[in-house]
A and B are shown apart, each in its own frame.
Chain A
Amino acid sequence: MPNFARLATRRNFLLGLSLLMLALTPRVSFALDVDVSGGRINPLPIAITPFLAGGGAEEAGATLNEVISNNLGRSGYFEPLPQNSFIEQITDFNQEPRFADWRQIQAKALVTGQVYVDGGKIRVEFKLFDVNSQQQIAAQQFSTSPKNLRRIGHLASDVIYKALTGIDGYFDTRIVFVDETGPKDRRVKKLAVMDQDGFNVRTLTDGSELVVTPRFSPNSQEITYMSIGQGTPRVYLFNIETRQKEIVGEFANMSFAPRYSPDGQRVIMSLLTTDGRNSNIYEMDLRSRQLRQLTNTPAINTGPSYAPDGSQITFESDRGGTQQIYVMGVDGSGQNRISFGNGRYSTPVWSPDGQYIAFTKQAGGRFAIGVMKPDGSGERILTEGYHNEGPTWAPNGRVLMFFRDTPGENGGPQLYSVDITGYNEQQVQTPGFSSDPAWSPRLN
């Protein structure tokens, strides 16, 4: 019995203690606290409604729809929904959409717009909504002459793209490339320019001289390119807008056109040694035209490209036995090899955001386009095949364009684009064969 009593006492004590603990412990008010990592990376379904148009602007409305829809779809981040799936037909630009109707067709984002002619100018307004939260997340209006209509479409695409991806758009840009016509052994190569979506193609040279390797200035609509005519190769500066051409110089010992420095005041190039067996990297001040030698090794050092902050230069060199990618300071100091994969690496190009260096890689008789970090880590092959070469970056650093050659009598180079993740490879439509693409900075 005494045992029983002791036990009973102990039990009461324990019970009391636990009740006390329950009372004293700050009981979480049972709010669920959840970590969500990852999520969907599928293209975002977006409904781009027909732009409301009146007073002769109907065609303009259709064009805008087409431009925006194509841009967003081609980016790989969006899935423009077919207009015949729409339940609600927008009839009033200022009226709030019936979001339930858009949710029903799985649209995540919704674009509405209107276009009208106002005093000889075209006026475009559009709104972007998040369907789930029923919030307007962007709106803008533009006014321009009718001939710039497609540009308005590109500008609107950039606004939508940035609002939904968090990345600067790249649609209001151009591509300069080498347009190739004629038989394979007697190609006529003209310099040409087009909008990034392949529209508005114009040739810039007449084809009397062979042109190669156009390079865009990072902050203007100016390019450099090399022209190989009857005589010595010449390097030109050429303004796309004004068509003004200026010769930088004659370089008997040059094989690639120079690239601009980030401030556009200097160019960097490689020049062959007098015996023609080696080449070294030189920087030229565009005002004084003075050359400064940055490398001095008995090897082929070529293909230089500045980092966007202007502090470093990447280039290719075979000083170690095979073509590899190197990085050095702008004064030529600290030359370090960064590529160590299996194969030969060439044409390094620093991305506009500084995060990657794109390259051409040759291994096993095939050519690949890839990217790696400036320290050589994280190499990633984006595409591979018979012949891929000459990557150029979109100004937002998310998309690369390059050219791909095909073998055979009727084969020839074509332009392609690919996302830096390696997804969404697409051919870029051009009138004929095309090579050496150079992506412009944003136009605005």
Chain B
Amino acid sequence: MRKSLITSLLLHGAILVAALVVLPDPDKYKVQPQDAIQVDISKIGDESKRKATSKTAEKPIEKAAPKKVEEVKKVEPAPKVDEKVKTAVKEPVAEPPPPAPKVEEPKKEEPKPLDPDPLKDLLKKVEEEPKPKEEVKKAEVKPAKKPEEKKPKKKKPELNTDDIAAFLNKTDDEKTAPQQTAEVTNEPELGDQDIQGNDDALAATLVDALRQKLAGCWSVPPGAREANITVKVRFFLTPDGTVSGYPEVLNGSGDPLFATTAQSAISAVMECQKYDFFPADRYDLWKDNTISFNPNMMFGT
């Protein structure tokens, strides 16, 4: 027993001594992790991106480390919103350049009379736009290269949460906007505005598609070609793209020429049926339509 007791005491003593000898080292190890300052340097790269894209970036700069984590989180929710996006994730990696030219195509087509099919294609493209947002996600995972590239590209203040109101107010401007949609495609930061921004872009595209379609169906009465007449017609569409009921003329005039022009506008709305080039899952965007018909063919000023 004694032997064992002595052995035990010796061993414990040895452990204590060893512990005393070894302890300083762990302290050193504890200090070393503070070299994470290097990590901070890589975050400064992110900061430059933030400066270019965010109006309110000053305070966050001080806390660069945590932000990096947050930004990644920011991006994730966007793709989650749209399942289609997920399915698209696989392809876009290999095709980052194509999206830009693709979206430009519809611009060129606009002046030409469109068949329903091209319209469908155009709309599909807009729907597929979220693709680039996936690229964003991946891009930010590798921040080291990105910052340098982005500095020159973006001076656009992209939409922060702070800017949502402003973004909503932009609705009118976006009527002109498949082009904007095209630009947006290359901008990674869109993640935050996905739902609202995509609606606006899509609505703008629908407006263009409808405008082209109706212009092709509208036989302008010769007497109205030089007249300054605007006929506002409202109509509702059923989900299958047919006109529900009868178009309603919203304005009026005692001028017989107005009546003739209004009749021609109604005829155009009816002739253009079916409006089956609209995205079926966004019926909310195109069920209610108001069209301002204006011959606008003045000549010989």
Q: Which residues of A contact B (CB under 8 A)?
A: 3-4, 7, 11, 14-15, 17-18, 21-22, 25, 27-42, 44, 77, 103, 108, 130-135, 137, 162-167, 373, 377-380, 398, 421
Within B183-241, which residues are at the interface with A (CB < 8 Å)? 196, 199, 203, 206-207, 210-211, 214-225, 227
B285 touches A30 (CB 8 A): yes
A7 touches B295 (CB 8 A): no
B290 touches A32 (CB 8 A): yes
B260 touches A163 (CB 8 A): yes
State how many angstroms separate the Cβ of B72 from the closest Cβ of chain A: 13
A selection of 21 A-B contacts at a CB cut-off of 8 Å is: A28-B171, A31-B290, A32-B290, A33-B292, A34-B291, A35-B291, A36-B268, A36-B292, A37-B215, A37-B294, A38-B215, A38-B220, A38-B295, A39-B293, A41-B219, A42-B219, A132-B266, A132-B268, A133-B263, A165-B223, A378-B299
What are the interface flags for B243-273 relative to A under an 8 Å C-beta threshold, 1 for contact and 0 otherwise?
Answer: 0001000000000110011010011101100
Contact of A36 among B196, B203, B214, B223 (CB under 8 A): B214
Residues of A within 8 A of B296 (CB): 37-38
Residues of B within 8 A of A14 (CB): 160-162
Tell me, in angstroms, the Cα distance from A181 to B60 when the chains sit together.
99
Question: Which 5 residue pairs spanning A and B have beta carbons closest together?
Answer: A166-B223, A378-B300, A39-B218, A166-B260, A167-B223
A380 touches B300 (CB 8 A): yes
Q: Which of B13-21, B62-70, B101-109, B140-148 contacts A (4 or more CB under 8 A)?
A: B62-70
Residues of B within 8 A of A34 (CB): 207, 210-211, 214, 289-292
Tell me, in angstroms, the Cα distance from A276 to B7 when the chains sit together.
155
19 more CB-based (< 8 A) A-B contacts, given A131-B267, A133-B246: A7-B67, A17-B161, A22-B196, A30-B199, A32-B207, A33-B207, A34-B207, A35-B211, A35-B292, A36-B218, A36-B293, A37-B295, A38-B295, A39-B219, A77-B222, A130-B267, A132-B266, A162-B256, A373-B300
Residues of A within 8 A of B70 (CB): 7, 11
Tell me, in angstroms, the Cα distance from A41 to B221 when the chains sit together.
8
Tell me, in angstroms, the Cα distance from A27 to B167 when the chains sit together.
12
Residues of B within 8 A of A27 (CB): 168
State how many angstroms separate the Cβ of A431 from the closest Cβ of chain B: 31
Instruction: Across the interface, name the chain B residue whose C-beta is closest to A44.
Output: B219
Instruction: Across the interface, name the chain B residue whose C-beta is closest to A76.
Output: B222
Report if B297 contacts A (CB, 8 A).
yes
Instruction: Across the interface, name the chain A residue whose C-beta is closest to B270.
Output: A132
B267 touches A165 (CB 8 A): no
Tell me, in angstroms, the Cα distance from A38 to B271 when the chains sit together.
16
Contact of B288 among A7, A31, A131, A133 (CB under 8 A): A31
B165 touches A25 (CB 8 A): yes
Residues of A within 8 A of B284 (CB): 30
Contact of A167 among B222, B270, B291 (CB under 8 A): B222
State how many angstroms separate the Cβ of A137 from the closest Cβ of chain B: 6
State how many angstroms separate the Cβ of A239 from the closest Cβ of chain B: 32
Instruction: Across the interface, name the chain B residue whose C-beta is closest to A3.
Output: B63
A166 touches B290 (CB 8 A): no
Residues of A within 8 A of B38 (CB): none
Report if B277 contacts A (CB, 8 A).
no
Tell me, in angstroms, the Cα distance from A165 to B225 when the chains sit together.
10
Residues of A within 8 A of B168 (CB): 21-22, 25, 27
Residues of A within 8 A of B291 (CB): 34-36
- Given A30-B199, A32-B207, A133 contacting B214 (CB threshold 8 A): no
Tell me, in angstroms, the Cα distance from A263 to B268 when the chains sit together.
42
Residues of A within 8 A of B257 (CB): 166
Tell me, in angstroms, the Cα distance from A163 to B67 when the chains sit together.
69
Residues of B within 8 A of A7 (CB): 60, 63, 66-67, 70
Tell me, in angstroms, the Cα distance from A19 to B165 when the chains sit together.
10
Instruction: Across the interface, name the chain A residue whose C-beta is closest to B73.
Output: A11
Residues of A within 8 A of B4 (CB): none
Residues of B within 8 A of A36 (CB): 211, 214-215, 218, 268, 291-294
Tell me, in angstroms, the Cα distance from A166 to B297 when the chains sit together.
15
Residues of A within 8 A of B294 (CB): 35-37
- Given A32-B285, A32-B289, A165-B222, A40 contacting B216 (CB threshold 8 A): yes
Report if B301 contacts A (CB, 8 A).
yes
Tell me, in angstroms, the Cα distance from A33 to B233 when the chains sit together.
10
Residues of B within 8 A of A167 (CB): 221-223
B289 touches A18 (CB 8 A): no
A40 touches B222 (CB 8 A): no
Report if B280 contacts A (CB, 8 A).
no
Tell me, in angstroms, the Cα distance from A38 to B160 when the chains sit together.
40
- Given A36-B215, A40-B216, A130 contacting B263 (CB threshold 8 A): yes
Residues of A within 8 A of B11 (CB): none
Report if B39 contacts A (CB, 8 A).
no
State how many angstroms separate the Cβ of B207 from the closest Cβ of chain A: 5
Tell me, in angstroms, the Cα distance from A29 to B293 when the chains sit together.
21
A132 touches B66 (CB 8 A): no
- Given A4-B66, A29-B288, A36-B211, A18 contacting B220 (CB threshold 8 A): no
Tell me, in angstroms, the Cα distance from A378 to B60 when the chains sit together.
64
State how many angstroms separate the Cβ of A85 from the closest Cβ of chain B: 18
Instruction: Across the interface, name the chain B residue whose C-beta is closest to A99.
Output: B270
Contact of A32 among B221, B268, B288 (CB under 8 A): B288
A32 touches B297 (CB 8 A): no
Residues of A within 8 A of B220 (CB): 38-41
Instruction: Across the interface, name the chain A residue whose C-beta is closest to B69.
Output: A4
Tell me, in angstroms, the Cα distance from A164 to B165 when the chains sit together.
47
Within B32-77, which residues are at the interface with A (CB < 8 Å)? 60, 62-63, 66-67, 70
Residues of A within 8 A of B300 (CB): 373, 377-380
A165 touches B221 (CB 8 A): yes
